[in-house]
Amino acid sequence: MEISRIGVIGAGQMGNGIAHVCAVSGYEVVLTDVSQDALDKALSQIDRNLARQVSRGKLDEATKAEAQKRISTTLSLPELGQADLVIEAATERETVKDSIFKELVPHLKPDTILTSNTSSISITRLASRTDRPEKFMGFHFMNPVPVMQLVELIRGIATDEETYKACLGVVERLGKTASSAEDFPAFIVNRVLVPMINEAVYVLYEGVGNVKSIDEAMKLGANHPMGPLELADFIGLDTCLAIMNVLHDGLADTKYRPCPLLTKYVEAGWLGRKTGRGFYDYRGEAPVPTR
């Protein structure tokens, strides 16, 4: 099917990045959120990210201006009903996603493809609560969306081939690379990545190393561009904990038990960069380890 209009649900870090890359690639984009403030912040962030691409010679001013014209915003979820493809990028909580789909589905065209940017939740289960499980799949971008090249495409048990091919075509038009994953908890990237982060938190919890030594060890010893605790702060500790809980609940294996220290940080509201504190304190001129 021909996809020309894309609806994006959620104007946060992932949603505004998805809107950005879709608009640059020529799609008409409708971005929605529950708050006008969130939409205004998203448009400002998109403008800054586009300007950064212009300054680096990756886009010209005319392309930037055209991309911005293709993005419209709305507080009304039903206004996404005429989209050819909808990408849900709301909070990583299944109840939130279910309520969004329940409100949106009655307004969709019969052939609209419905997708979720979930990083870990069962696509089959999300799809089963809609009227179109055959036209539902996982469309998981990596963060930050304008920079990262990978998109995981996850088929639910009912996803048909036409839907998969249409989404694959969108990924290719965005200039990104698709990785096909089966519908198991956390798919590929987070199935490997987040347990590594959780293990780094255990190393901290058990006193094997402090924040600085753990991150430096992995950067210099394993050639990782970012240490696991620094990366956890970038992702958001609440998101890391949510993914670990999905793995632990979905696979019933004790090796996926979230570290109690990770839970404690989330309970404290120390979620990483977005709240100013996580494994590092970001409120000063330079990040300072909190342990």
> What are the beta bridge partners of residue 131?
none
Q: Is the peptide bond before 144 cis (omega within 30 degrees of 0)?
A: yes
**Alpha-carbon Rg for the chain in angstroms:** 19
Query: Which of 180, 177, 179, 172 is CA-nearest to residue 26?
Result: 172
> What are the beta bridge partners of residue 114?
86, 136
Question: Which parts of 33-188 fold into alpha helices (H)?
Answer: 36-55, 61-69, 94-104, 123-128, 161-173
List residues with catalytic annotation.
119, 140, 152, 190
Task: Report helix angle 228-235 to 211-221, nearest 10.
Answer: 110
